[in-house]
Amino acid sequence: MDEPEPLGIHAFRYGIAEHDVTVVPESDATRSVQGATLEDLMVMVFQVFKLLRPDLNFAPAYPPYLVDQPLTGETRPAPRAPEETVTWKVVRQTPGSMGAQPFGDNKEWRPRIREELTPNPGEIVSPSGSPTTGLVTFGQLFETIVQFDCWTLTNFESEQLVNWVIDTLRTHTGTFLKRGISRLYYWSRIEDQFVLQFRNGRNVRSAQFYVRTESVTVASVALIRRIDVMLDRLMAMGRLRDDVESAASSANLV
């Protein structure tokens, strides 16, 4: 019989080690220079879960071993399901609001400049020359409701698992903020009727979290090297303006 599919997230950018999985108070967390996306957060959550609970399977919704065969139309045997699984999915995502209120009306609809004309480390400049390009950093906020579905063999174990997930995410919020996540709040406990129809022999409990992330992009732009000013034309325009004003003044005196 097939083994359960792997995590589904294969990037390990942050390399969270055991010494990192400690309680970092949210008020003491130092923000990362670079923003972190929702995918980055899920990678970090996976690493924290794996260190604290090695046998727990964490995957995007929904692995094939959790979906009832009549719902999928599959005829081959479903993969063997692990005893404990947490799946995640996005139930709502919008451009981020500029204020503190989640999902406010004043939204950041497009990327804005966060930092401009910083040195371009990829450009080689001779000692006698000067840079020809600079870097402009753009950022855009996003607000997301992420749902974590906790699957186990019994109702009691499901309640234990969803409470563990809630406590773990809240406890280590400072760790995620330190690595670039803007905000992470517990949102609600729900009963998701969609996942209840799977009839896969698993009991499920669901919790939702509010996540505020920032997508950061960097663009290389050319620097202004020269400004040509046509002084003779500007001086001519100035003399013409003086002549017009003088003529107007003379007409008023007549």
**241 Cα distance to chain centroid:** 56
User: Which CATH number do you get for residue 175?
Assistant: 3.30.2000.10
Per-residue pLDDT, 87: 93
Backbone angles phi, psi at 113, to 5 degrees: -70, 125
Q: Is the peptide bond before 210 cis (omega within 30 degrees of 0)?
A: no
In a domain, 23, yes or no: yes
Q: What is the pLDDT, as a whole number, of residue 93?
A: 94
pLDDT digits (tens, 9 = 90+) for 33-67: 567 899 999 999 999 999 999 999 999 988 877 76
**Is 92 contained in some domain?**
yes
Q: List CB contacts of 102: < 8 A, sequence separation 6 or more.
A: 143, 185, 210, 212
Three-state SS for 159? helix
**Is residue 11 in a domain?**
no
Residue 102 lies in a domain: yes
Q: Which residues contact 131 (CB under 8 A, 6 or more apart)?
A: 119, 120, 123, 125, 223
Kindly give the parts of the chain with pLDDT less than 70: 1-34, 67-81, 117-131, 197-200, 224-254
Residue 19 DSSP label? G
Q: How far is CA 100 from the centre of its chain?
A: 17
Joined tokens for residue 172: 């280590």
- Count how many domains the chain has: 1
Residue type at 53? Answer: R
Q: Residue 6's pLDDT is what?
A: 40
pTM for the model stands at: 0.69
Domain extent at residue 91? 18-108+141-213
Give the SS3 label for residue 133.
strand
Asked if residue 244 is part of any domain, the answer here is: no
Strand pairing class (133-152; 112-119): antiparallel
- What's residue 75's pLDDT? 46
Vertex 162 angle, CA 67 and 47, to 5°: 85
Q: CB atoms < 10 A from the CB of 31, how many?
A: 14
Give the H or E element holding residue 206: strand 203-222
197 belongs to a structural domain: yes
CA distance 71 to 67: 7
Three-state secondary structure call for residue 107: strand
